[in-house]
């Protein structure tokens, strides 16, 4: 400290207040982020059944429209951190293009928008509302062996 200079209590309080506001703003910004998992699954009829990593969806895959397939393989599982109203481009197979955006919270549900398109085709826009850790799925695009299933699951 420079000799002869004193910091008063008011100045100390101001410093603490200033630093607190910066910390609070940082936390506020972080609170607007959510973490999402995008599962890319391929449904086919190669008689291999449901992959072990997808066992939690066995009952879902036994229902229409998935019950016309007997095999479900997890192709990829990618984590994304989404910031409010900042769309993220998804890494998807083939010529499939996808964008996922977090639109905020409604009650206890997360509001998400998933845009999917193949090559240069116009996009299909899916506005999803899901609870924490609850997925919604978009499926049906043709894959090399059957159809693609995309499961989006987010936590705030």
Partner 1 sequence: MKQDEKILAQYYDDELSDAMRTRVRAQIESSPEDTDALTKLETISHFFEVMKKENLENVSFEGFEKRILNEIHSAREPVPFSEKVGVWLKEFLSHRKAVWIPAASVAGAAFAALLVVGLQATSVMMPEMPSQNGLETWQANGTTPSVVSTVDVTAPDNIDVQEFNLETEGGQRIAVVWINE
Which residues sit at the interface with partner 1, rule CB under 8 A? 1-2, 5, 7-8, 10-11, 13-15, 17-18, 20-21, 24-25, 27-28, 31-32, 56-60, 63-66, 108-109, 116, 118, 121-122, 124-142, 153
Helix (H) or strand (E) holding 27: helix 9-31
Query: Cβ contacts of residue 96 below 8 Å, gap of 6+?
Result: 116, 117, 118, 141, 148
Q: Indicate the SS3 state at residue 73.
A: strand
Closer CB to partner 1, residue 51 or residue 130?
130
Minimum distance between the CB of residue 80 and partner 1, rounded to whole angstroms?
17
Nearer to partner 1, 73 or 150 (CB): 150
Please state the closest distance from residue 46 (CB atom) to partner 1, in A. 20
- Distance between CA atoms of residues 43 and 55, nearest Å: 14
Residue (72 or 141) nearer to partner 1, CB: 141
Tell the smallest beta-carbon distance from residue 108 to partner 1 (Å). 6
Shortest distance, CB of residue 91 to partner 1, whole angstroms? 19
What is the residue whose two structure tokens read 């009829």? 45
Closer CB to partner 1, residue 80 or residue 136?
136
Q: Which residues contact 15 (CB under 8 A, 6 or more apart)?
A: none
Q: How far apart are CA 77 and CA 51, in angstroms?
A: 13
In the complex, what is the shortest distance from the CB of residue 47 to partner 1, in angstroms, rounded to a whole number? 22
Tokens representing 75 are 């192709």
d(CA 85, CA 40): 23
Of residues 75 and 126, the one with the C-beta less far from partner 1: 126
């Amino acid at each position: 400290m420079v000799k002869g200079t004193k910091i008063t209590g008011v100045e100390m309080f101001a410093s603490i207040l200033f630093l607190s506001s910066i910390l609070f703003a940082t936390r506020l910004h972080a609170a607007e982020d959510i973490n999402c998992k995008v599962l890319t699954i391929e449904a086919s009829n190669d008689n291999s059944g449901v992959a072990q990593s997808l066992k939690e969806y066995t009952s879902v895959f036994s229902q229409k429209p998935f019950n016309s397939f007997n095999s479900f393989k997890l192709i990829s599982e990618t984590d994304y951190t989404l910031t409010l109203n900042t769309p993220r481009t998804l890494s998807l197979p083939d010529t499939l293009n996808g964008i996922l955006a977090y639109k905020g919270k409604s009650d206890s549900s997360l509001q998400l928008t998933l845009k999917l398109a193949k090559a240069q085709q116009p996009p299909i826009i899916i506005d999803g509302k899901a609870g924490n850790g609850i997925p919604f799925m978009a499926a049906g695009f043709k894959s090399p062996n059957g159809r693609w299933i995309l499961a989006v699951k987010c936590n705030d």
